[in-house]
Amino acid sequence: MLSPDNPIRTVAIIGAGLMGRRLAGLVARAGRSVTLVEPVESVLESGLAAARDMAPNGSISGSDAIVQGVAHADLVIEAIIEDLSVKQALFAEMASVNAEAILCSNSSVLPITVIAEGVDDGTRCVGTHFWNPPDLIPIVEVIRGERTSDTTMARTYDFMSSIGKLPVRVEKDVPGFVGNRLQHALWREAIDLVASGVCDAETVDLVVKNTIGLRLGEMGPIENADYVGLDLTLAIHEAVLPDICAERHASPYLRDLVANGELGAKSGHGFLIWPDGSREQAAARLSAHVQKQLADQTS
C-alpha cells in the first residue's frame, strides 16, 4: 500500500461517459495528472475533448486499455455502468494491474464491499460517490466498505478536499449510501401520490420546488426537525407516517411505465411529456441553477 504521507499525483478515470469525462476535467483542473480510460474509441475521443475543455492547461491523456491506464496511478476511480458483475470484474482486473493504488467506485447505490469481493487486498477499496455534474455538485460520499482501512478512508477524504470537493464520511456500507436513500425515499412517496390519484405529476414537482425545495438548500431535514421542535416532529410522524408509502419494492406504476417504453426524457414520455430538445434544456437549466446557488453561498 502507498505510504499515507505520499501525495496522490496520478489518477486514472475508468469510463469516458458523461460522468467520467467531467471527473477527468475536475481532477486535471486541480493539478493532477489524469489518464482517461475508455475502450470505445469514439467515446474516448469525445471524452478527452470535453475534459480538456474543462482543464485546458491540465495533464490529460487517454488510453483504451486498463493495463496502460491504471498501472502507474496512485488512485483509480471507476465511472462505468451500474452493473454489479461488470464492476466486480473491473475491480479484480484493476487490482491485478496495480497492487498499490487506492481503488474507488463511483457507484451511486451498489455496496462497495460486494463490488470489491474479488480484490485480495480490500483495505484499499473505497466508495467515492460523486453527484452529477461532479464538477458542480460539491458533495462526494466517501464510503467505507467492510475491509476498507482507516488509511484509505483518510487519504481518499483528503484527496477529495484537495481537488475542491466537500467530502463526507459514510461509515456503514448500505445500498444507496446517504444521499440516494434520502432522495429515493422522497421519490417513492412522490410516485405513490401520482399512482394513487392524489394529484398529477406536475403538482408533485410544483409543490416540492415551492415548499421544501426552497428550504433544503439552507436547512437540512435534521436541523429543520430541531428547528420546529421534536415534539411537533413526533406528532406529525404519528399522524402521517402510518399512511405514507412503505412499499419495499419498486412501484407497479413505475414498472408499467418502463415496460411500456415510457422512460422519461430519453424516450419523450414518462410521468411527463418531453418534446425534442427539452432534455438538453432541462440540463442547462439545472446547471445554471446549481451554479447560481453556489455563487450565492460564496457572495
CB atoms inside a 10 Å sphere around CB 108: 19
CB atoms inside a 10 Å sphere around CB 208: 14
As a whole number, mean pLDDT of residues 178-207 equals 97
* Four-CA torsion 16, 22, 28, 32, nearest 10 degrees: -70
Statement: residue 10 has pLDDT above 70 = yes
In this prediction, residue 298 has a pLDDT band, given cuts at 50, 70 and 90, of confident
Average pLDDT score over the chain: 95
pLDDT at 4: 61
Sequence letter at residue 154: A
Q: Tens digit of pLDDT for each residue in 250-289?
A: 999 999 999 999 999 999 999 999 999 999 999 899 889 8
pLDDT at 297: 79
Give every CB contact of residue 146 below 8 A, 6+ residues apart in sequence: 113, 122, 173
pLDDT at 186: 97
Active site residues: 108, 129, 141, 180
CA distance 122 to 252: 38
Sequence letter at residue 294: L
CA distance 137 to 26: 11
